[in-house]
Amino acid sequence: MRNAHLDAFLVPMADRFQNEYLPEDQRRIAWLTGFSGSAGYVIITVDQAVLFVDSRYTEQSHQQVDLKEIHINPLRSGAITSWLCSELDMNARIGFDPWLHSINEIKHLKKVGAKKNLNFMSLAQNPIDQMWIDQPKPNGKPAYMLDLSESGVPTFEKIGQLISVLIKRGVDCPALTCDVTASNWLLNMRGYDSPYTPVFFNYTLITETEAVEVFTNLEQVPERIRCTLKEKVIFCDWSEFEASLKKHKKLYLPSEHVPEAIREKCEKNDVFYTLGDDFYSARKAQKNKVEIERMRECHMIDGLAVTRFLYFLQTLTSFDDITELSAAKTLEDFRKKSRQYLSPSFSTISALGEHAALPHYMPSEKTNASLRKDIVYLFDSGGQYTKGTTDITRTIFLGDNPSPLLKKHYTLVLKGHIALARAHFPEGTSGVQLDVLARQFLWKEGLDYGHGTGHGVGYRLNVHEGPQSISPRAQNQPPLVEGVVLSNEPGYYQKGAYGIRLENLMVVEKSLVNQEFLCFDTLSLAPFDRILIDEAILTQDEKEWVNAYHQQVFKTHRDFLSGAEKGWLQHITAPIL
């Protein structure tokens, strides 16, 4: 830093694709500080290092990092810019790796930093990579292709669709996507480059001539795939990327998801570029019939694993040696019984009692609690399957006598879950309008939860998918449309005591009540914990919803269960009167 005359250097939790989950070789913050969480930011100055983490990682970060070397700050909206503006001198020089920041991010940093005349210096080499002697190598596993029975729409048709979107928006030049979930969706390809999300890494350029250029590690693309797609898709090596940019005189860059480094390369090579919104998310989020059908099927398989795990937990006679971590492993073992299972879709939340009050708690060796009787246990987990992606949360009571207050809280959350699941709404409605349905019963009691109610979910892709969501903060959200898959996950968190969250995935479909209306169909299939339901505060309609849902769970799984499991499931899914 001294050689480069830098006053600070930025280390975001990011890779060149703005992936949510980073592969090992990109986990620079973990290597640098020892902090292994999934979100964070580091600023290094010549005399200190500051790690920014959000509230869920406060405890973990304090345990994992050397507090003599590293100062820990809360990661809130605007925390990085305000730290830079308040801690650095006027005219300070701040280095960054332009591959790890989006164009929008750097634009924002420069704008806010202008008042202190901060200079953001784009570095040709990431200094951490230069020091990181044993930086892991990417696994290099080959990508593979989904066949039509798996993707539903041929690659060439999707390319045509995206080109239509671009034309409609008045884009008259090649458009780049660095979002690998988008390119994997577009190409009907998947891979092993990222944890939790089955993608292969690439940058993809969509040109007006319907020729798509895919820049990637060529060794990972089997000859057969190149052949299949050769009419419209040209696979090129990473090394050809800059030369290709130069070849195009004009480019469209979705600035929220394209690295600053690419904008710089355009500047350097006199490539004219237009910055704009992303053009693929809305198209990708609207699943086709094959995708929806397969998502339904994988939810049957996933629901079976979750139901078996619930049976395992609810019928334990002793909790010896069962911990949050081991329970999470047991759950994955149930999922692994299916040959369609690929991996978790995110890191499992397995949380006992007061841990469950932290919505994003993830167990570690240091916090790992042992299960015991008469306590709440919450697990939030999902799987990647050959047929799709799942995400489900159940909250159970490990005992027979939950307190009336706990039952009330559980039932208020359940009532909200049901109200959203049963909603019908006109086309054009967006998630921000529906969010209150899940909160209204808690609100009546002065209670609430601090997270959104629902996020989009990809098909055999990212478990957190845009652009739709169900949230109070979803300003300028596009309307919900047929085929979008969303989670329905209201919760309630009693600090220091317990947490409740009930999550199913749902698909948006046409409503039968009015041809211009939409509604949700629930995909996830696992029972709620009957002992936590306070039947007295359910309406008849709500009871009917629970009963119908439980019947569907029972009918779906009964033929795949052991006799004991089946008897148990029949018992706990019997109608509430």
Residues at the interface with a copy of itself (CB under 8 A): 419, 422-426, 429, 432-437, 440, 443-448, 472, 475-476, 511, 513-514, 517, 539
Task: Sort 368 into a burial class: Cβ within 10 Å, 0-12 / 13-18 / 19+.
Answer: middle
Q: Which is nearer to a copy of itself, 24 or 445 (CB)?
A: 445
For the bound state, the minimum distance from the C-beta of residue 45 to a copy of itself, rounded and expressed in Å, comes to 30
Shortest approach of a copy of itself to residue 413 CB, angstroms?
16
Closest distance to a copy of itself from the beta carbon of 455 (Å): 17
In sequence order, which residues have a C-beta less than 8 Å from that of residue 39 and are 6 or more positions away?
13, 53, 54, 57, 75
CB of 115 to a copy of itself, least distance (A): 12
Beta carbon nearer to a copy of itself, 211 or 436: 436
Alpha carbon separation from 412 to 298, 396, 525 (Å, rounded): 29, 15, 20
Alpha helices in 143-249 (DSSP H): 148-151, 155-168, 180-187, 223-229, 241-247
- 135: tokens are 């930086």
* Residue (31 or 425) nearer to a copy of itself, CB: 425
Q: CA nearest 312: which of 335, 286, 330, 332? A: 330
- Euclidean distance between CA atoms 186 and 177, whole angstroms: 10
| Contacting residues for 446 by C-beta, under 8 A, at least 6 apart | none
Q: How far is the CB of 457 from a copy of itself (least distance, A)?
A: 23
By the 8 A CB rule, do 156 and 232 touch? yes
Rg for the chain (alpha carbons), in Å? 25
Q: Maximum CA pair distance of the chain?
A: 75
Tell me the closest approach of the beta carbon of residue 164 to a copy of itself, in angstroms. 23
| Rounded Cα–Cα distance for residues 189 and 460 (Å) | 10
Of the two residues 172 and 333, which places its CB atom closer to a copy of itself in the complex?
172
Q: Count of CB atoms within 10 A of residue 386's CB?
A: 18
Choose between 370 and 539: whose C-beta lies nearer to a copy of itself.
Answer: 539
Q: Give 84 or 420: the residue with its C-beta nearer to a copy of itself.
A: 420
| Smallest distance from a copy of itself to CB 517, Å | 5
Provide, rounded to whole angstroms, the least separation between the CB of residue 506 and a copy of itself. Answer: 16
Residue corresponding to tokens 């003599």:
68
Residue 160 or 472: which CB sits closer to a copy of itself? Answer: 472
d(CA 521, CA 506): 5
Rounded CA separation 541/103 (Å): 50
Nearer of residues 90 and 513 to a copy of itself, judged by Cβ: 513
